[in-house]
Structure 1
């Protein structure tokens, strides 16, 4: 699924100087000139395809290595001459798998800019990738279909896993009483880079939409809730990103960080010992960890639920949604959001469900009455239905309700293609995937996976979603082409069901996902 391109070097000599660089980046000049852009750190040389300009591997922060590990991102060093921007930068450290390539390179804070051919200024869409906060990178997404609708797209890397989210008392002591959430700080640094530089790429710094899926969607939620992100974006799209509305406290996160340090051999619990660990040692210690943002009293003063309930968040227009069969992918990939071992079977079904619902206030008997095993083809399908409704569908609806009640304009959706091509795991892994977690991404960012084909109705759905997303990026309203998408309110409880062929509005989302049972409303 990796989307790699290399640009050709232009043969004409480079003219240095801020005045010349600004002129080349402006509205005049040919496409070759527009491949050269002067940023606030130096000039970059991108390249172009038949349909767009692209500038790859631009540093937006200094490498978070050595003494900068586990600190807020710092501006990158300036460079003289021209920096080649025809190749992606390294992904952040991760073990690798279906959702991202393995890497041990901490020098990874890079972004990529894709722009239409034309004068602009273009609305800007900043994509935050998913991957459970432990995998993924910005180089896996083909922005061409979105760019073709007249928007600029920026994809980013950010620190992952323990390198991105470890909280620890020694780190808090040196950083004003707070630690963790470095990956969220990276995202904010990337958004500041966009504010400061995107006009040079013919993007509109005053019309920025941040969007993301899964961990990327939860990142978007976190930026909506973070006071430090105020003014950095104008709209937000949350795709399957409401699975954790109640974040751990700093004390809880620091206790986890202390355990990580002990396991890694840093029994003195010092920051210097932690920073002396190799990337491999850190990756080894995060195996199986449930990595999420925390209430660090800085980036996130309160939980997402508390921020949205109180109205203390960045009130921008929001698209929020989930997929009809979220958990089929997650259980198959052994990426459960609750501690578990192995597949769900008839023998372990009650124990697995009990673990899943432990914090919900519901008993196994109550859940079993709502989701009788006899209604499903297998125990794993029953489990997936419970997890989908509890963690994604009803949690996402709660998020939409809270934001709407606090005065934000919200548009709600459910992605509902039951035959979406499987592009992450071997399709034969299970007989039915449905509208699985992350299935909608390929409808916005075309996949490069060999052998994947789409029906005419699925192509129509892709076109419709791209039109909705880019209309929202332009105007804060997804309407313009295709079926009408009403604004969500707590009174109308209306979702758009994104279906092959022609989408439609529905008002039975809460009923189908048993939200009254899970949330009381």
Structure 2
């Protein structure tokens, strides 16, 4: 009989008992767990302890809800993550709770069902091919979720790794602290922690990457071929790992989707401490000890939130230059050449951003708006973004939005990589509109007009297209969609395996001044040349947040924040 540990006393004993009787050891677990028929795997020995996984119906091996650090509760609230060890066997048969956060509305595009939420949330999930063994040395993809730094979970169905594991990679994701729990600096914390505080979310990620480095071989992975990938705020997290000395050597490549910003300004520790003091004031707490005793929902109540149907002013904590995880500014780290030198992919979606031109419908309004914004420079602007008819306006508006933000940022990342590192950079743009099912209606998007929105690429990278049909018929996927997803998965696995995303289907060339273009991911895969003159013009003459005289509002096609 195996020793029992946390979450292991009932189900494992029953499985082993049935095996001893020679009966089928296939048990349907409760819907609140994995909602799949599974069969148990022999325990794997990790540095933290023994962990038992399962074989899914697809044949993929999975370990779900495995802790990689001690629960950050009580005195560990607002402390760097601490190691965890357990006796017996940890039964990793269900997802762990997401880190405490405001929950999502149920009528939005990216709602896939409710998840439990808790401060006790530092759990990891691993999917591995069915034939993988401890010496298989398979490429590893590690995903960091987005959510603006205040929401997000590794348990979202669109972030699962079963499909990539079917195709030969080990896939890992994990939860990390968000919001004030994940980022708050404070003078008392700084004194307590040796001169630094904040950045707990990034330190959680660093702890998970260290755990992966030490243990992933036991699950069939190669610790020297680990690609980290993040989307939106997750892409910012990947950037922070690239720039932190604490994470050097923990990964061999990096993918930043919708947020490759290497020259972004970061708050000082002093500014972060002011945010912490403001949080203390709003909570009415006497000191740090009192703040650690306040229920987590009270802390959520003072956070600034911006989601569909809600907008609440409050405190928002960000990453800081703490002198520890982030020792200095990105600019200084770049100048010193101190970031990790690994291949990168800087990726964005065609329709996930907007500009004052995004709502313009005809040529007359387009030209008139250019005159209002740029005055005597309007002629030069219109030469860079010409439109000869009403039909040209939408394409020009999309290009202006991209050149003002995401295309510019991705190109800047690639140029900085080429300048400061030896490893190559690759740039890509996802431009395929999802195949929405007839009659579907979401609160946060206009499915009739939306294009390749924020996060639209992720289910294609991971093969999780059917996620959108879990609770309602949200998509009517086509063979073209599925073929594109297959090509993108193969490219991601190739990047993890070799550092080069090129495959037999995708001739992806590294970015350079002579190849100043983005690979375009759509039904037909091609390239989209950069517009350096336009990018430089807008950088020198920034666009306003909204058109002069026009109230800002939701522009169809911008997509949900995730």
Q: TM-score, normalised by structure 2?
A: 0.75
TM-superposition CA deviations, 1:287-339 (whole Å, max 9, x none)? 235553222221112233443354220001111111111136x99xxxxxxxx
Aligned residue in 2 for 1:322: 348
Residue 141 (structure 2) pairs with residue 125 (structure 1): yes
Residue 530 (structure 2) pairs with residue 508 (structure 1): yes
CA–CA separation in structure 1 for the residues paired with 2:445 and 2:416: 39
Residue 336 (structure 2) pairs with residue 303 (structure 1): no
Residue 105 (structure 2) pairs with residue 83 (structure 1): no
Contact (CA 8 Å) 2:244, 2:339: kept in 1 or not?
yes
CA–CA separation in structure 1 for the residues paired with 2:445 and 2:377: 29
Residue 422 (structure 2) pairs with residue 399 (structure 1): no
CA–CA separation in structure 1 for the residues paired with 2:18 and 2:447: 55
1:411 to 394, 418, 426: 426
Change (3 A) 1:316 1:428: closer
CA–CA separation in structure 1 for the residues paired with 2:376 and 2:150: 31
Residue 516 (structure 2) pairs with residue 493 (structure 1): yes
TM-superposition CA deviations, 1:160-215 (whole Å, max 9, x none)? 00000011122112112211110000001101111111111121112111111111
1:255 to 274, 277, 289: 274
Aligned residue in 2 for 1:73: 81
Which runs of structure 2 are paired with 1:124-163 in the superposition (5 Å)?
A: 124-140=140-156, 141-163=159-181
CA–CA separation in structure 1 for the residues paired with 2:279 and 2:397: 31
Change (3 A) 1:491 1:298: farther
Aligned residue in 1 for 2:367: none
Aligned residue in 2 for 1:206: 224
Aligned residue in 2 for 1:434: 451
TM-superposition CA deviations, 1:411-450 (whole Å, max 9, x none)? 1111111446599944763642111110001102314222
CA–CA separation in structure 1 for the residues paired with 2:483 and 2:526: 13
Contact (CA 8 Å) 2:60, 2:127: kept in 1 or not?
yes
When the two structures are aligned, how many residues end up with a matched partner? 465
Which runs of structure 2 are paired with 1:378-389 in the superposition (5 Å)?
A: 388-389=402-403
Change (3 A) 1:366 1:161: farther
Structure 2 residue runs of 5 or longer lacking an equivalent are: 1-9, 20-37, 306-314, 362-371, 542-562
CA offset at residue 123 of structure 1? 1.1
Which runs of structure 2 are paired with 1:286-301 in the superposition (5 Å)?
A: 286-288=303-305, 290-301=316-327
SS class of match (1:11): helix
Aligned residue in 2 for 1:334: none
Residue 53 (structure 2) pairs with residue 46 (structure 1): yes
Change (3 A) 1:125 1:14: farther
Aligned residue in 2 for 1:108: 121
Contact (CA 8 Å) 2:436, 2:447: kept in 1 or not?
no
Computing the radius of gyration from Cα coordinates, the structure with the larger value is 2
Aligned residue in 2 for 1:276: 293
CA offset at residue 103 of structure 1? 5.4
CA offset at residue 229 of structure 1? 0.3
Aligned residue in 2 for 1:223: 241
SS class of match (1:449): helix
Contact (CA 8 Å) 1:95, 1:103: kept in 2 or not?
no
CA–CA separation in structure 2 for the residues paired with 1:399 and 1:455: 34
TM-superposition CA deviations, 1:245-284 (whole Å, max 9, x none)? 2212222222222222212213x4x221221222111111
Change (3 A) 1:404 1:69: same
Change (3 A) 1:487 1:64: same
Aligned residue in 2 for 1:482: 505
Contact (CA 8 Å) 1:132, 1:291: kept in 2 or not?
no
CA–CA separation in structure 1 for the residues paired with 2:377 and 2:17: 71
CA–CA separation in structure 1 for the residues paired with 2:488 and 2:144: 18
Aligned residue in 1 for 2:546: none
Aligned residue in 2 for 1:11: 15
Change (3 A) 1:96 1:390: farther
TM-superposition CA deviations, 1:222-246 (whole Å, max 9, x none)? 1011111011111111111235722
Change (3 A) 1:325 1:496: same
Aligned residue in 2 for 1:339: none
Q: TM-score, normalised by structure 1?
A: 0.80
